[in-house]
Chain A
């Protein structure tokens, strides 16, 4: 009778549920000043990026400062605003039995996670967007060589770091412990992203290993999309750009597939007893 006529898993209903959860999560983020600071601290990294990035990347000088800044800004956004914040959020909600309670409602698991992640992602993306607009306005940044690649880099990078946050949360018992458990991903990702030093300085197989990491791939891909130049600095035509994009896109896709599998297997919705 009734059940047949109610289709509960339609996208609009789903979006409505995510929105309700995300709004509440946004209020919680606003009230948690430390988390808010972490999420909004991106501009603080600008002086560092301005100083270091041109030397480190050795690329894109002709495309203005923006093209150099944006990949670095995205890296910080993914690591801190998205990854670190989300680990702390998921652990806090799990330990307060909120995740468990939400699962006893109408929302699906994916909706609950999306609701938790949306505010952090929104803040990260908004800051990147503001930086992009500022870059265009102030340094006269040329339009991106391939805007699709820029968006793919941002979307896939975000997805990977949401999944990594779920996995890190699985081994994190308290919110305080997140300061330690997030270190491996933060340090390794950043050190091998090409933002700290050019990957050309690395010997094989370290260099290939670095390029197999998600942040490195996301940064490469975004730089490629913005400037049309490869990591080593020479310019590529549109076709060559797509060819150069294949490798980082595949790396990110592989991380997403493995990440989804691993998160389903190991993510915990309730505190360990």
Chain B
């Protein structure tokens, strides 16, 4: 699968004059000077009436997305991901706060930025009685600078389905058609709201390859997903949202590290000696079962195994888990109504 690159990269490939190249570098440097392709400051979004009748779906979210990176928004259902995305996409105004995409207000200055954005909604449709190719032709006709329809369909693996009616496509194929339309306009910024939901594992993998190629060609991507491995795989940085706020923000490794590693095991029946104190480790005992939370998994394991071996003690059901995105996510999801700390340092793991 070979991706033809976005417009400004084409300049480098085809432009033979030094002047053109110079302009490209200037544009690139200008882009790098930006604090972000997307900046979001204290964003609030409200549904329903002002006052007590309404509901704040997004409550003061702040982050920025740099050029060429993939930023993932994670969170449980109702955390405010899609509500946030819709404001970034310019489909809805914020109740409060500021949003800039490519330096402009995506809602008020829609006509000036929309043609540089590609959007794949969580739920969107195309007329059931059009074929895939006809849908592509229609969509291309509304775009300022579309790539060839056949190329976009090939990129999502739908080239062979071009003559099939949309109504005959499977759910996964419809998602891929939606993705193809989102990238048809060679967007500089691509918004993907749960792009791989409903895809089989192979299609999902293909979508990942495509997204990586787009990133490689300089596209900036904002993505929401329920699949943590997808975020871990693709994201340069991510935010975990919970109840309208950002509970964790950082690279996947940073966010994972906000959570302690966990070691659990069972002591033999009738064992009386307590587990020794270990630095950077908190222990909790439930009956025979012991759970150690550690900031340094290797150190904790070494100490634990040394202690067990010196007493010729067999630890049953021994399980060691490094800090992971999943652990961090579950910790956030379990944190209930408590206001989440942006740095994520103070969360307790619910047992």
| A272→B210 CA distance, assembly (Å) | 34
CA distance A45 to B137 in the complex (A): 37
Please report the C-alpha to C-alpha distance between residue A93 and residue B125 in the assembled complex, in whole angstroms. Answer: 8
Stretch among A21-29, A78-86, A128-136, A256-264 lining the B interface? A21-29
A226–B191 alpha-carbon span in the complex (Å): 55
Encode A60-90 as 1/0 by CB contact (under 8 A) with B.
Answer: 0000000000000000000000000000000
Closest CB of chain B to A117's CB: distance in Å? 15
Complex interface residues of chain A between 99 and 143 (CB less than 8 A to chain B) = 100-108, 111
Contact A1 B30 (CB under 8 A): yes
A: interface residue count bin? 20 to 34
Chain B residue numbers with a CB within 8 Å of A102 are 142
Q: How far is the CB of A235 from chain B (nearest CB, A)?
A: 50
Give A203 to B9 CA distance when docked, in angstroms.
Answer: 74
Stretch at the interface among A2-10, A146-154, A236-244: A2-10
A19 interface residue per 8 A CB criterion: yes
Q: Are B89 and A23 in contact (CB under 8 A)?
A: no
Is B320 engaged at the interface, CB distance under 8 Å to the other chain?
no
Chain B residue nearest in CB terms to A32: B129
How far, in angstroms, from A59 to B30 measured CA to CA in the complex? Answer: 72
Q: How many Å lie between the Cα of A24 and that of B115 in the bound state?
A: 21
- Known contacts A3-B113, A21-B142; A97 and B123 CB within 8 A of each other: yes
**Do residues B121 and A100 form an inter-chain contact, with CB atoms below 8 A?**
yes
A17 touches B129 (CB 8 A): no
Is the CB–CB distance between A104 and B124 below 8 Å? yes
A32 CB, min distance to chain B CBs, angstroms: 7
Inter-chain contacts of A97 with B (CB < 8 A): 121, 123-125
Is B134 located at the chain interface by the 8 A CB criterion?
A: yes
Residues of chain A lying within 8 A (CB to CB) of residue B135: 24
A1 to B104 Cα, complex, angstroms: 12
Question: In whole angstroms, how far apart are the Cα atoms of A108 and B91 in the complex?
Answer: 11
Q: A107 contacts which of B103, B129, B134, B142 (Cβ < 8 Å)?
A: B142
Those of B82-96 within 8 Å (CB) of chain A = 89, 91
Assess whether B130 is in contact with A24, with CB atoms less than 8 Å apart: yes
Q: Which residues of chain B are within 8 angstroms of A106 by Cβ–Cβ distance?
A: 114-115, 142-144, 185
Contact between A104 and B116, CB atoms less than 8 A apart: no
Question: Are B144 and A6 closer than 8 Å at their CB atoms?
Answer: yes
> When each residue 166-182 of chain B gets 1 if its CB lies under 8 Å from chain A and 0 otherwise, what string results?
00000000000010010
B111 within 8 A of A: yes
Interface centre among B89, B102, B130, B135 (most CB of A within 10 A): B130
A-B contact pairs, 25 of them (CB 8 A): A2-B27, A6-B144, A9-B111, A13-B144, A19-B141, A23-B141, A24-B134, A24-B135, A24-B137, A24-B138, A28-B129, A93-B127, A96-B125, A96-B127, A96-B128, A98-B125, A100-B123, A100-B125, A101-B121, A101-B178, A105-B139, A105-B142, A105-B181, A106-B115, A106-B142
A-B pairs, 10 with minimum CB distance: A20-B141, A97-B125, A101-B124, A24-B138, A104-B119, A96-B125, A17-B142, A9-B111, A31-B129, A107-B142
Given contacts A8-B111, A27-B129, A31-B129, 16 further A-B contacts (CB under 8 A): A1-B30, A2-B8, A3-B113, A6-B112, A20-B140, A23-B141, A24-B130, A24-B138, A27-B134, A28-B130, A93-B127, A97-B121, A97-B123, A98-B127, A104-B124, A105-B143
